[in-house]
Chains A and B, each alone.
Chain A
């Protein structure tokens, strides 16, 4: 009798734990993948529009500050960093995202033109040890800094942006994906 009770107790403990473990193992369908990809590219487009606003001399400082705050909200944390490398030397400048946006907001050009190439690349999603999914999106940006009508600085950069996808559950038990941006590496192309 004791053995039977022990066995039932064992089953009662093991089965719910197995179910719980199964429910945490999410696999992504192609539709999920495409939805996440679309959601991510929307976030990137949003980030691009904020960067354009931050560097536009015609926009007031308070609106630029708002653009910085909105851009930061796209990231998973204020601690995310932007690493900037160039083709002149091996130095890599590292900024926290808010500092990076503040830095580009006060660039000393009378006018700045930023264009985004219609080239992007989205890596496969990989599940990390914390259960979140991770990917990287690559976009290219052309930057031109003017003094009057003359271009005094111009570059094309490759921006590799980490993406974090977190599985969330709403109050009704439905799962949904929350997409946030992560660290960024900015590589100057020749």
Chain B
């Protein structure tokens, strides 16, 4: 089955080339070959979206001979195809069955940007998650939604020596002098504490402790109702190059991960509102 699919894919790519070559009546010189593969390359994410949606006739009318399923097969990394053809076919089936199309200003996709920074004079990699935000006037901008800073100490490690004793309040929290002047501060945090990396990232940049060097690479993550898939750039000298689907997973989350931040914020606001209502109704103060 796998071999059959790969052979089909190969034939599709060859037909894709020959249709185009015939339509232009070109000679098969190196230059022409190069031109054709550059034309078939998915050059920008915008082109990926158009080809995903079947909106872009990058090979003239010849591309219209193919079904949407075939057009989707052109924008999948062939190396990934060799690994997981079953999942790829089920994604394609799901996309066509649900008539799923990518819309630029919908928030069911975001960019994962791996960047090189300098932190404490050492090179460090951080991942910045960016999303398009569009206002009521249709004006768009990329916004920071979260950050992943693996070089920041992730977890508070509790030590039996590093704590503030339960009656220290009675001496005006006299142990603050000891605890706040060292790295022991993490030991003071609540057991479910975790850093808000975006806040840390902004603070480190503002205080110039973190210095941006360059963007190493970008991965785009798209969510459908049933799957999420990654799109990466492949710089190859053949017909399967440019921005291509590189990985697929089942989307078993009720909402994409990055929505949960907003959801938590909403929960927190609702809880606070309820608390205020209780306080007001009982005239506590």
Contacts and interface: CB of A to CB of B under 8 A. Distances in A.
B140 interface: yes
B137 A25 contact: yes
B178 interface: no
A158 interface: yes
A124 B215 CA distance: 24
Interface string B236-265: 110000000000000000000000000000
Contact of A118 (B35, B43, B47, B235): B35
Interface in A70-124: 87, 90-92, 94, 117-119, 121, 123-124
Interface in B1-46: 34-35, 38-39, 41, 43-44, 46
B13 to A, nearest CB: 18
A124 B49 CA distance: 11
Contacts of A119: 35, 38-39
Contacts of A187: 235
B140 A189 contact: no
A131 to B, nearest CB: 7
Contact of B139 (A117, A128, A190): A128
B216 interface: yes
A92 B38 contact: no
In this complex, the interface size class of chain A, counting residues with CB under 8 Å from chain B, is 20 to 34
Interface string B39-70: 10101101100000000000000000000000
B237 A117 contact: no
B104 interface: yes
Contacts of A140: 38
Contacts of A94: 214
A37 B39 CA distance: 19
A136 interface: yes
Contacts of A128: 139-141
B214 A126 contact: no
A147 B248 CA distance: 49
Given A92-B215, A94-B214, A118-B35, A190 B237 contact: yes
Residue among A87, A117, A121, A187 facing the most chain B CB atoms (10 A cut-off): A121
A11 B124 CA distance: 58
Contacts of B46: 121, 123-124, 136
Given A92-B215, A119-B38, A156-B34, A127 B235 contact: no
A30 interface: no
Contacts of B35: 117-119
B51 to A, nearest CB: 11
Contacts of A121: 43-44, 46-47
B139 A127 contact: yes
A65 interface: no
B172 interface: no
Nearest to A126: B140
Nearest to B105: A126
A186 to B, nearest CB: 13
Q: Which among B46, B47, B140 has the greatest number of chain A C-beta atoms within 10 A?
A: B46
Contacts of A190: 235-237
B16 to A, nearest CB: 16
Interface in B128-165: 135, 137-141
Given A119-B38, A123-B44, A128-B140, 18 more contacts: A90-B216, A94-B214, A118-B35, A119-B35, A121-B44, A121-B47, A124-B104, A126-B104, A127-B137, A129-B140, A129-B141, A130-B139, A136-B44, A136-B46, A138-B43, A156-B34, A158-B38, A160-B43
Interface of B: 34-35, 38-39, 41, 43-44, 46-47, 104, 135, 137-141, 214-216, 235-237
27 contacts: A25-B138, A87-B235, A90-B216, A91-B214, A92-B215, A119-B38, A121-B46, A121-B47, A123-B44, A124-B46, A126-B104, A126-B140, A127-B138, A127-B139, A128-B141, A129-B141, A131-B139, A138-B44, A140-B38, A156-B34, A158-B38, A160-B43, A160-B44, A188-B235, A189-B38, A190-B236, A190-B237
